[in-house]
Structure 1
Amino acid sequence: MRNKLTGAVTLLLLTTLSFAQDFQRTQLGVKANAQFMDIEVQFFSPTIVRIIKIPESSSLNKRSLSVIKSPEQTVLIVNQENNKVHLKSTSLQVELNLKTGKISFSDLNSHPIFTEKDYGTQFTAITDAGLKRFSVRQAFMLGKDEAIYGLGQQQTGKMNQRNQKIYLSNQNTKVCIPFIQSVKGYGIFWDNYSPTTFNDNLQETSFDSEIGDCSDYYFMWGGSGDGVVAQMRDLTGQAPMMPLWVYGYHQSKERYKTQDELLSVVKKYRDLKVPLDGIVQDWQYWGKDSLWNSMSFDPATYPNPKGMVDKVHQLNAHLFIVAWPGFGPLTKQYAEFKSKNMLIDFDTWPPNSGAKPYDPYNPASHAIYWDYLNKGVFSLGTDGWWLDSTEPDHINIKDKDFDQPTYLGSFRSVINAFPLEHVGGIYDSQRKTTSQKRVTIFTRSAFAGQQRYAANTWSGDVVSTWPTLQRQIPAALNFSLSGIPYWNADIGGFFAGAFNKGGGAKNPEFQELYTRWLQFAAFTPMMRSHGTDIPREIYQFGQPGDKTYDVLAKFINLRYSLLPYIYATAWDVTHHSGSIMRALFMDFEKDQQVYNIGNQYMFGKSLMVSPVTQAGQKEQAVYLPGGALWYDFWTGKAYDGGKSITAATPIDILPLYVKAGTIIPWGPQVQFAEEKKWDNLEIRVYPGADGDFTLYEDENDNYNYESGKYTEIPFHWDNKSLTLTIDKKKGGFAGTLVSRKFNIILVTETKGTGAQLSKQADKVINYKGAALSVSM
């Protein structure tokens, strides 16, 4: 039987090869020629397909900067019918039209998913920095009412990216990723690093890149929003765990000018008993601009940097230090990079300083950069990096600047990948230095694949206005839908000078904006206060007993209560390619009402957030997606989904709804993330549907979890029998809790509501790691 089967496969292969005049079978798919182009279809997996087109007789030697996946061995059925080649995997079908060069995709039942436009690939010969290159354009056809998302972080205020023309070139507040995903369950990554115009209109949808040797994109068939994100992570890298403390609250401003000032802020938070886990040192700790980014502390203002770091740690906090990609002309780094031809010769921040950026595209530059950063900063025991200006800043712009050579070609040809290469060099270098401290980065720009470098991108130097706050929500959601799960924004906006005339932090108008922004930030992957013009420490807004102060403290404390839930969600990101901020269609794809909603989102899979983004808002409409029962977090009142309700929005309330079937562990009241172990947790159960939750714990700030040093405790709620099952604890690590108490609350309008721990539990369970069930 085996010999007959082998013969049949050989005959099939010979039959396929008989069409060599039309196409050639390859290890990954097929090659063909059409419309004066060489075309290749490569299956990276049964659900991921790469399409490459180059002008015929051209050669291609491309190494992707974003894609790190090696192609899997994929079983394919290949055949030709007339002028069409069909490729079929176990998950999808691809059709190549040998006459027009068009590629189209369908499911196994031949239902169309996505298609190129006939004759939709165009190459235009150009000269780039004296070399013959092409501009490259690829056009597609979408369904008339098909909603699409992605493109990184755009400040347009739009959730659905249809009917837009957007120039994709990274700059402050604008993160450009040539990636889209559809409500139909597929994603497209256009693998090009030059400035690219995305255009969607009635005629077509297209990517048009200024520089390229090929049309090169990846089709991902995920079947859902989560599925597409998982495919993009499979293709470009998984997101590692951040340390537990990163999910707490962080204070910053532009800027702390001495080590005494920085330490005084941490001390003040501890005195006030307001939780805090991180403090950020912004620019010029090195002194004058000619020494910009010297990665050394000015002894006049920071006389004992090691002592400063130690004191921050003694106060149970962590220290972020800023680093830039540009260097002042009097720095040692500038001199070394210049001597090795590793500077890109254009002006970067700060103005009139003579600073130039280094060339992160050159792998040899990473070790040099890290050597200075490690000796001058990291060796002192610092905890995280603020990588500013990672677009990078480009001032006094001249056309010739884009012709500047880099290790990989003209700056123009690789500009959008600058943050990926810069951030990646620092991540890789720190990982080589130690595994005892997780790499922690927040950065102002990003590109596809940056999630693999522990990067938390913030939305840039945005202005302190209500419309700006509104725009941050769809910007964050589309960024997350582009495959990168970690995002944050300056609480209150960066430029707040317009409020100074009214008293700055005491200005009632700014207090309202800041309060609403902080409430939103409590439900983002990183909660970080920062800005210029007006200091943002909580005590700037009043003192205990003052309304604004008390509301700010309430939501900072709420963030810490949610840490067990947030950390478990982070584990879902790392272990299952999950997302923290979730567009509503990801969880309610059957409800078409949610497709264009960009002012609400899921935080994890259980909490729906509806930030208040207008001044003086006393109430607002909230849409409750269909197919679920919803609980008002603050009152416990239950609502059927599939309709809008009016939510009251006094200044101390952020509309927050919990999906029936949710199980949430409620953390202890703490001053910093690791102050108390999770040995006495309130477990809130929201009845009305079955549900699951997995409590995750590890050693909090090292990479031992990568070798299995972690625990999972699965919870399951059976709504019909009103039974909560707590399964056997899985795994272990140093310091694993042997026993703990779970205080079970079945949420109603009279218990388990709001931010405070409940006074009395329905059931108290002593859990020692063995499976048990609790009837409620």
Structure 2
Amino acid sequence: MRRKTVLYGALMTAILAGCTNTEQASTTEYFEGTASYQLNAADVFRLAKQMKQRDLVKSLKPLYGESYYSEEAFKSAISTRLNREVSDELYEELKQKALVAPQVLSLEFVADNTLRVRFGHEQVPLQQKLLDMSALTLSGLDKLGKYQWATSSLVVAVEPTTLCVKIQDKQGSEVNQLCPAEATGFTLHTDHDYHYHGLGQEFQKAGDLDGRWNQRTRHAGNKMEGFNGGATGNTIIPILYGASPTQSDFALYLNNLYSSEWQFDGQEINVKASKGSSEIIVMVAHKQKELRKQFMQLSGKPLVPPRKMFGMWLSEYGFDNWAEMDSKLATLRDNQFPIDGVVMDLQWFGNVSGNDPESQMGSLTWDRENFPQPEQKIAQLKQQGIGMVLIEESYVSQGLDEFKALEEKGYLAKDPETGLGANVNPHGGGSWWGKGGMIDWSNPEVNAYWHDWKRQPLIDMGIMGHWTDLGEPEMYNHQARYFGDQAHDEIHNLFNYYWLEGIYQGYQNNDVDQRPFMMSRSGTTGIQKFGASMWSADIGSNLTSLATHIGQQTNMMLSGIDYYGSDIGGFHRKGLGVIGEKKQAALDETYTQWFAYSSLFDVPVRPHTENLCNCKETAPDRIGDRESNRNNLALRYEIIPYLYSLAHHAHQDGEAIFAPVSYEFSEDSTLYDIQHQKMIGNQLMSAVVAELDAKDVTVAFPQGVWFDFRTGTKMDTLKAQSKTIDLYNENHQYQLPLFAKQGAIIPVSKSSAGQWTSEVPQDITLKIFGFANNAFTLVEDDGKTTDYLHGAKRETQITTRVFDSSATLSIESLGKYQGMPSSRALEVNWSLGAEVQVSRISSNAEQAITWKQSGDQLYVKLAQLPEQGETTITLEF
């Protein structure tokens, strides 16, 4: 049970009792602190050398970093440490170097649970203000004293000397204390043992599924970094969550998008940005999921991806021609693997050549020699139910007409001396992709110009999405200038944000009905509102890298990214780390495990690898265990109606789609250290594995009744809440366990003649597990356009109610969209549990209802659901 502190201080007792010695306060307060003295090692070392007093460095070492708020205390500390009289000359030198100017504090009460704290005078640049605070409201604010205030959720106090800000929850328990540090930093102290997540992604420890930042240092700044045989993303989204089963949870957003460092040392966190403002948004709530929903409200809720993005998309670097791509699609079809799309790497526009100014990088024009008649090909694939996503980059080779047009308009990052397009390589050479410049996405005119010229014709051809690669940016000229004469560090961590925003805006400007969808390697706060997903970059082909990716998925989810995927099987096969006769077996097992994980948690499911030699395989019928891959992909397609509904819930309410088990069951303290179990929505749970030779996995079941999703079998958790589950079924096929909680209502798809599809099913099929009062909203739309934003969708409310000797299932559909099924049957597979025997089933439907019970499984069919009104089915037992 979640145990929140219930000891009320006298202050809180007076507030809750409605004490009248309070007054209405201004929502913004300003303070200036006291000058202080603080020695640092570098200054003392230089002074010791200058004055030839070598003992200073060692003698004064215990004082480094300590703050003294009076000259008397400072001088006394020095005298004590030196154990001698301090000369006037030495003391004056030390005092001058140690003197710290008074800090400045701005304190703004933004909402009942939200506080804006800014240390120093530095304001947040307009372009970095990515949170929309306008919807937040403050119901009331009481001033309890000169330095104390209270809202309905918080009590806040300022220490006037240090300007430290102490934040308590409504129960009077201290949540944390924020103190100014260096000019661009602050410290956070708490007396509690919080679990820290968020802050985007950074791969640190290979093989570690635990993504928590506790006792680590987070180096935040957009870049791709070498990691464990590959290269993975470091993405700055500066939202930190502190979660505890016994205290109020908090979230902290650093309103600063310059690179930063976060040092987690026990109960203290030290944060320092490379430059900019020390403005912090602090939110406090009972549960982490409340904070995440609030952050999604502020940063932007995700658009619903096209429905096909929840299926499998085949990708590699890359298909050299249509024939190579077609051969992969043909065997997938022959081996009964469903597929929704293909992702085309840079070969589609003619490939690239290193250091070559004539390289095709930036042409974004079809190579019609290897990919003839793309218009017809895209239409043909569409008839087969296969969509297409194209890669694009921000680099343009200087020998192309595109470079000349962009340079003429001033749309490239500029050389500060000439004002012309700056060479990306500051040393004058080229890069692996060619030689040229970089598009300046910070210029709004560039986005519209490039979109209309290059992307819109591709969208008109039928392209479904945009793969924005190298957008950290991976390489850049640090001397270049950007729109408004900005230096590179002003735009670096916003570069991919501007790029994605430009794509989204291009769809808006051109009144495109199709939904915008991007698959991005980088970004920052709020990119989800543009229709962007992310993947973890060019990851190594090994399960220790997958394990780290799994941990970072939790951080990315809490940072606002619901749709976070990977290069299934790994991009860099050299990272496998196994040679000789065991290599193929290790690669197959790596791929099989990876594909099983991604089939549950990646959007889209996207195998991808480097295959320039045309000697590697990445399609799931050609590598790994084929039967395991097929069954795991079938499971993915089976639950697409559930996943797609969750996508609508995420868009409407900011609900998480894939979260750690402690996120959903936050009152259970035993689950916080269990990092390998993840929820899908709030009704399904899996335990994930990323380890060669793994045969089983330990599952800790949260309190309550659980069912095996595949078999409907009720799990025996009465004797022990932790069980060991086999990873291979009776047919020796690899699968991750998947469980449904008591009362779960899961809408599913069914295969037809062994074939799966991501399309909206003609009928409604439900899997229900056990008996509990529950409700779930199945959401369907055309899966392609933005019409859902204007209400064109069907919402089917599915409700179960349980009584002493009966249970009811109610179904009611509201809303319409173009192309929706007009007449639908209902099928229900209800897993009852072994102790239940159904005696009678009735319904208010006009159509006859049929049913049978086989052991603990109940099967119910209704030939046709009414188009309007509520249908109720009653079970008696």
Give me the TM-score of the superposition, normalised by structure 1: 0.87
Mapped partners of 2:412, 2:155: distance in 1: 47
Q: How far 1:697 moved relative to its partner? A: 0.9
Q: How far 1:703 moved relative to its partner? A: 1.2
Give matches, 1:403-422, under 5 Å: 404-405=481-482, 407=484, 409-422=486-499
Mapped partners of 1:13, 1:285: distance in 2: 72
Please give the secondary structure, in 2, of the residue aligned with 1:539: coil
Mapped partners of 1:197, 1:276: distance in 2: 42
Give matches, 1:451-600, under 5 Å: 451-497=528-574, 507-524=584-601, 525-533=603-611, 534-541=616-623, 548-600=625-677
Task: Indicate conservation of the 8 Å contact 2:366/2:374, yes or no.
Answer: yes
Counterpart in 2 of 1:314?
383
CA shift digits 1:596-629 (9 cap, x unpaired): 222221112111111231112222212212x222
**Cα RMSD after superposing both structures:** 3.0
* Aligned residue among 200, 209, 213 for 1:152: 200
Task: Indicate conservation of the 8 Å contact 1:171/1:391, yes or no.
Answer: yes
Given the superposition, is the C-alpha separation of residues 327 and 701 from structure 1 closer, same or farther in structure 2, using an over 3 Å criterion?
Answer: same
Counterpart in 1 of 2:30?
31
Given the superposition, is the C-alpha separation of residues 48 and 737 from structure 1 closer, same or farther in structure 2, using an over 3 Å criterion?
Answer: farther
Counterpart in 1 of 2:744?
662
CA shift digits 1:142-190 (9 cap, x unpaired): 3342111111122233332111112111222222322211214221111
Structure 1 residue 242 corresponds to structure 2 residue 329: no
Mapped partners of 1:334, 1:557: distance in 2: 46
Structure 1 residue 182 corresponds to structure 2 residue 242: yes
Mapped partners of 1:294, 1:13: distance in 2: 70
Q: How far 1:673 moved relative to its partner? A: 3.9
Mapped partners of 1:471, 1:305: distance in 2: 39
Given the superposition, is the C-alpha separation of residues 526 and 223 from structure 1 closer, same or farther in structure 2, using an over 3 Å criterion?
Answer: farther
Counterpart in 2 of 1:767?
865
Mapped partners of 1:388, 1:710: distance in 2: 33
Counterpart in 1 of 2:220?
168
Q: How far 1:463 moved relative to its partner? A: 0.3
Counterpart in 2 of 1:6?
none
Mapped partners of 1:363, 1:733: distance in 2: 34
Please give the secondary structure, in 2, of the residue aligned with 1:295: coil
Task: Indicate conservation of the 8 Å contact 2:340/2:758, yes or no.
Answer: no
Task: Indicate conservation of the 8 Å contact 2:540/2:576, yes or no.
Answer: no
Counterpart in 2 of 1:132?
none
Aligned AA (1:731): G
Task: Indicate conservation of the 8 Å contact 1:48/1:231, yes or no.
Answer: no
Please give the secondary structure, in 1, of the residue aligned with 2:275: strand
Mapped partners of 2:812, 2:260: distance in 1: 51
Mapped partners of 2:596, 2:530: distance in 1: 28
Structure 1 residue 333 corresponds to structure 2 residue 333: no
Counterpart in 1 of 2:706?
630
Mapped partners of 1:203, 1:541: distance in 2: 47
Aligned AA (1:81): G
Aligned AA (2:818): A
Q: How far 1:505 moved relative to its partner? A: 13
| Structure 1 stretch displaced more, 348-357 or 168-177 | 348-357
Counterpart in 1 of 2:779?
696
Q: How far 1:571 moved relative to its partner? A: 1.0
CA shift digits 1:102-125 (9 cap, x unpaired): 2232223333223213xx2421xx
Mapped partners of 2:462, 2:639: distance in 1: 28
Counterpart in 2 of 1:726?
810
Task: Indicate conservation of the 8 Å contact 1:463/1:494, yes or no.
Answer: yes
Mapped partners of 1:404, 1:494: distance in 2: 33
* Aligned residue among 107, 115, 120 for 1:54: 120
Give matches, 1:395-410, under 5 Å: 401=478, 404-405=481-482, 407=484, 409-410=486-487
Task: Indicate conservation of the 8 Å contact 2:185/2:270, yes or no.
Answer: yes
Structure 1: tracts of 5 or more residues without a match: 1-11, 18-24, 124-135, 543-547, 753-757
Q: How far 1:729 moved relative to its partner? A: 1.6
CA shift digits 1:584-603 (9 cap, x unpaired): 11111111122122222111
Structure 2: tracts of 5 or more residues without a match: 1-19, 35-101, 225-231, 354-358, 414-421, 837-852
Mapped partners of 1:375, 1:683: distance in 2: 40
Q: How far 1:403 moved relative to its partner? A: 6.9
Aligned AA (1:300): E
Q: How far 1:486 moved relative to its partner? A: 1.2
Counterpart in 1 of 2:175?
113
Structure 1 residue 97 corresponds to structure 2 residue 159: yes
Mapped partners of 1:503, 1:427: distance in 2: 48
Counterpart in 2 of 1:364?
445
Q: How far 1:479 moved relative to its partner? A: 0.8
Task: Indicate conservation of the 8 Å contact 1:154/1:175, yes or no.
Answer: yes
Q: How far 1:538 moved relative to its partner? A: 2.9
Counterpart in 1 of 2:337?
274
Give me the TM-score of the superposition, normalised by structure 2: 0.77
Counterpart in 1 of 2:502?
425
Task: Indicate conservation of the 8 Å contact 1:181/1:187, yes or no.
Answer: yes
Aligned AA (1:452): K
| Structure 1 stretch displaced more, 471-480 or 525-534 | 525-534
Aligned AA (2:594): W
| Structure 1 stretch displaced more, 181-190 or 680-689 | 680-689
* Aligned residue among 23, 31, 41 for 2:107: 41
Structure 1 residue 437 corresponds to structure 2 residue 485: no
Structure 1 residue 233 corresponds to structure 2 residue 311: no
| Structure 1 stretch displaced more, 102-111 or 567-576 | 102-111
Structure 1 residue 351 corresponds to structure 2 residue 439: no
Give matches, 1:366-381, under 5 Å: 366-381=447-462
Aligned AA (1:143): D
Mapped partners of 1:60, 1:614: distance in 2: 44
Given the superposition, is the C-alpha separation of residues 74 and 402 from structure 1 closer, same or farther in structure 2, using an over 3 Å criterion?
Answer: farther
- Percent same amino acid among aligned pairs? 21
CA shift digits 1:620-645 (9 cap, x unpaired): 212212x2222223441313387321
Please give the secondary structure, in 1, of the residue aligned with 2:797: strand
Given the superposition, is the C-alpha separation of residues 750 and 274 from structure 1 closer, same or farther in structure 2, using an over 3 Å criterion?
Answer: farther
Aligned AA (1:628): G
Mapped partners of 1:244, 1:142: distance in 2: 44
Please give the secondary structure, in 2, of the residue aligned with 1:541: coil
Q: How far 1:744 moved relative to its partner? A: 1.8
Please give the secondary structure, in 2, of the residue aligned with 1:764: strand
Q: How far 1:350 moved relative to its partner? A: 4.4
CA shift digits 1:58-114 (9 cap, x unpaired): 6776443421342645333242524x141x334334333333222232223333223
* Aligned residue among 734, 743, 752 for 1:652: 734
Mapped partners of 1:738, 1:352: distance in 2: 52
Mapped partners of 2:679, 2:545: distance in 1: 20
Counterpart in 1 of 2:132?
68
Aligned length: 721
Given the superposition, is the C-alpha separation of residues 102 and 63 from structure 1 closer, same or farther in structure 2, using an over 3 Å criterion?
Answer: farther
Q: How far 1:674 moved relative to its partner? A: 5.0
Given the superposition, is the C-alpha separation of residues 60 and 628 from structure 1 closer, same or farther in structure 2, using an over 3 Å criterion?
Answer: closer
Q: Which runs of 4+ in 1 moved over 6 A?
A: 12-17, 499-506, 749-752
Mapped partners of 1:749, 1:278: distance in 2: 40
* Aligned residue among 201, 221, 229 for 2:284: 221
Given the superposition, is the C-alpha separation of residues 375 and 709 from structure 1 closer, same or farther in structure 2, using an over 3 Å criterion?
Answer: closer
Please give the secondary structure, in 2, of the residue aligned with 1:522: helix
Give matches, 1:677-716, under 5 Å: 677-716=760-799
Q: How far 1:346 moved relative to its partner? A: 5.7
Task: Indicate conservation of the 8 Å contact 1:43/1:71, yes or no.
Answer: no
Mapped partners of 2:283, 2:213: distance in 1: 18
Mapped partners of 2:115, 2:586: distance in 1: 52
Mapped partners of 1:674, 1:521: distance in 2: 16
| Structure 1 stretch displaced more, 340-349 or 596-605 | 340-349
